[in-house]
Amino acid sequence: MKQRLGLAAALLKDPELLILDEPTNGLDPAGMADMRVSIRRLASNGCTVLLSSHLLTEVGQICDRVGVLHRGRLVTETAVADLRSGGTLRVVADPLERARAHLESVLGAGRVRGDSGGLNVEIGADRAARINAELVGSGVSVSELRWQEPDLERTFLELTGGGTHGD
């Protein structure tokens, strides 16, 4: 209730700029969803909203642009969509080594990375159906084909040097 009252009090003066620090803190899931809708509505009505939060999933759901601070310095300032660019296509298939060899021959070895039980392929999401058809055509059984956008937490850690405790 305090979060909602604080927002309501701030809006009484019809501000051009609203600075919010962890606005969904302490809210239940319904309250969090309502707060996100309210913040987006404010922005769409011309209010500039500066949101400070450590909850990067919230930032990704609310914000159009993001600034990453590390040790008091602005590391980057960009569109949230730009931070999420460069995703990978997740492929789980059997036999996995045949899938890997085929994809490396078609795309190049540098664009295919293996991990526990699958492959991460650096390719646009729009080519997923074609990749699936090629793998099936080469005798590979595909059980999972999923686009993975990089999450903001991983991107944040990369931008800030790994984020060990105390940084």
Domain 88-148 is in which class? alpha beta
Give the pair of three-digit tokens for residue 130: 């074609």
pLDDT score for 110: 92
Residues 6+ apart with CB under 8 A from 67: 74, 76, 77
pLDDT score for 166: 47
Q: pLDDT 10s digit of each residue in the chain, 167 long?
A: 777 788 888 888 889 999 999 998 888 999 899 999 999 999 999 999 999 998 888 898 999 999 999 999 999 999 988 877 778 899 999 999 999 999 999 999 899 999 888 999 998 888 999 999 999 999 999 999 998 887 788 888 888 887 554 44
pLDDT score for 39: 92
Give the pair of three-digit tokens for residue 16: 């051009």
pLDDT score for 162: 74
CATH 3.40.50.300 fits 2-63, yes or no: yes
What residue ranges do the domains of the chain occupy?
Answer: 2-63, 88-148
pLDDT score for 36: 93
pLDDT score for 84: 73
Q: Are 136 and 154 in contact (CB under 8 A)?
A: no
pLDDT score for 164: 52
